[in-house]
């Protein structure tokens, strides 16, 4: 749960239409989110930009944090949070997570 998801994983598993509200809960800059909204031709494109921003700029963007934020009242994606949590649990010991440290990207295998 405390691993960092990949952008591909988020794009595949977190199909949320109101990505703006989720971005606010993830403490992303509202001006950046608004720029993503204006620049993006599709919901999927805006969502991808939001997740990319979160992964690159958050101190510790974990699956647990994402699940918690999906469950907040303002986001209201309890079922999606539950499905994602089940997915994470079922992946078990083979998760590959990314860790950002000193602006360098490392791959870490969780066993």
Identify the pLDDT of residue 99: 38
pLDDT at 106: 39
Q: What is the SS3 assignment for the chain?
A: CCCCCCHHHHHHHCCCCCHHHHHHHCCCCHHHHHHHHHHCCCHHHHHHHHHHHHHHHCCCCCHHHHHHHHCCCCCCCHHHHHHHHHHHHHHHHHCEEEEEECCEEEEEECC
- pLDDT, residue 92, reads 65
Residue 63 and residue 61: Cα distance in Å, rounded?
A: 7
* pLDDT means over runs of 10, the chain (111 residues): 90 95 96 97 97 95 95 91 90 48 38 41
């Amino acid at each position: 749960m405390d691993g960092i998801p990949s952008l591909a994983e988020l794009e595949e598993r977190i199909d949320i239409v109101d990505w703006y509200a989720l971005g606010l809960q993830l403490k992303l800059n509202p001006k950046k989110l608004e720029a993503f909204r204006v620049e993006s031709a599709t919901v999927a494109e805006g969502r991808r930009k939001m997740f990319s921003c979160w992964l690159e700029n958050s101190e510790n963007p974990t699956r647990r944090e994402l699940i918690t934020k999906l469950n907040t009242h303002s986001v209201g994606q309890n079922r999606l949070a539950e499905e994602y949590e089940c997915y994470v649990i079922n992946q078990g010991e083979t998760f590959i997570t990314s860790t950002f440290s000193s602006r360098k990207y490392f791959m870490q295998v969780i066993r």
